[in-house]
Amino acid sequence: MGFYSQVIFPRLLDWSMSDPVLAKYRRELLKDVTEEVLEIGFGTGLNLAYYPEHIRKITTVDINPGMNAIAQKRIDESGIKVEKLLLSGENLPMPDNTFDSVVSTWTLCSIVNVEQAIKEVYRVLKPGGKFFFLEHGLSDKPKVQVWQNRLTPIQKVIADGCHLNRNMQQLIAKSFDDIKLERFTLEKLPDLMAHMYKGCAIKRERG
């Protein structure tokens, strides 16, 4: 990772993702998180303020060391113990069936092997565990999809690997059968970035 990825991009990301409109959806997503929690793509720690009061510890993974300095301030203020791991979500070191909840917010767009990362989420969840996700991705408007596909190569360079054109519903459905999903478009954002996938995917109990 170069200077842009580790120094400039974390600050740009923190600024852009601190929008109050996005905070509303973070709060809605995280209100049902329970017990042992893993957050992939922890970034600058923007979710910390929205975890339920009973959550006192989370494990996090993020591949970008430049996020840590900004995140640490929020960790110190949150009262939540955070075990930070500097690695990608594609290869998690935890045993099978470890977590009750896994959280991902605006992260799956940037993971290189996203299908493998989702498989890892499924693996480390306990049976009956829940994957809480809030992601941007492929629009439901064909004309917007054309531009998302055209501009994704540029977006990957300027936004540290971010894809505009991933169909998050299809990707998550490859690993999870039980998915509760809401798709919507945020009016405040440009069409290329505005289509959201918010939901919860549940790992089946053992039969």
Query: What Rg value do the Cα atoms of the chain yield, rounded?
Result: 16
**Residue 197, both tokens:** 């996938």
Under the banding of pLDDT at 50, 70 and 90, the label for residue 5 is confident
Compute the mean pLDDT over every residue in the chain, rounded to the nearest whole number. 94
- pLDDT at position 126 is 97
The rounded distance, in Å, linking the Cα atoms of 128 and 73 is 33
pTM (2 decimals)? 0.94
Q: In 3-state terms, what secondary structure has residue 103?
A: strand
For residue range 99-113, what is the model confidence (pLDDT) as tens digits?
Answer: 999 999 999 999 999
User: Do 38 and 100 touch, CB atoms closer than 8 A?
Assistant: no
User: Do 64 and 4 touch, CB atoms closer than 8 A?
Assistant: no
- pLDDT at position 12 is 87
Query: Any idea where the domains of the chain sit in the sequence?
Result: 3-202
- pLDDT at position 9 is 84
- pLDDT at position 110 is 95
3-202 CATH fold: Rossmann fold (3.40.50)
The rounded distance, in Å, linking the Cα atoms of 184 and 192 is 13
